[in-house]
Amino acid sequence: MSECIFCSIIARKTPGRIVFEDNLVVAIEDIRPQAPVHLLVMPRAHVDSLNDLKPEDEPLLGRLFIVAARLARERGLDTQGYRTVINNGAWAGQSVAHLHVHVMGGRVFHWPPG
């Protein structure tokens, strides 16, 4: 998946602000933040979207959200609240085909999203 921008950032071939990484997941700052805090937590190994997860990926899915919550807490988002979003496929607005959890906070969000 050499053409995947997120794989390229993870491999340090493309610049990116990596804020967390472990054996399963990597978190970066979104290049076009839509909130005061806008992070993307993603699997280290390429997966297109939730559609491609397998039963054995349960620990990965857990880690994505544990790390998302930890990063939100570290940034003081947990008291007022924050939003986690996964866009899957064209109609949901997924623009990068490497599964990622948006972690957004620091402002009020509305529901339903557009």
In terms of CB distance, is 5 or 60 closer to ligand 5GP? 5
If contact means CB under 5 to 8 A according to the sort of partner, which of Zn ion, ligand 5GP, none does residue 1 touch?
Zn ion
- Binding residues (CB under 6 A) for ligand 5GP: these are 5, 16, 28-32, 40, 87, 93-96
The catalytic position among 46, 100, 102, 110 is 100
If contact means CB under 5 to 8 A according to the sort of partner, which of ligand 5GP, Zn ion, none does residue 24 touch?
none
Angle at 63 between CA 88 and CA 26, to 5 degrees: 75
Angle at 15 between CA 11 and CA 17, to 5 degrees: 95
Using rule CB under 5 A, residue 75 touches Zn ion: no
> Catalytic annotation on 46?
no
As beta bridge partners, residue 37 has 105
Using rule CB under 5 A, residue 11 touches Zn ion: no
Task: Name the residues annotated as catalytic.
Answer: 100
Q: Give the binding site for Zn ion (CB under 5 A).
A: 1, 4, 6-7, 46, 98
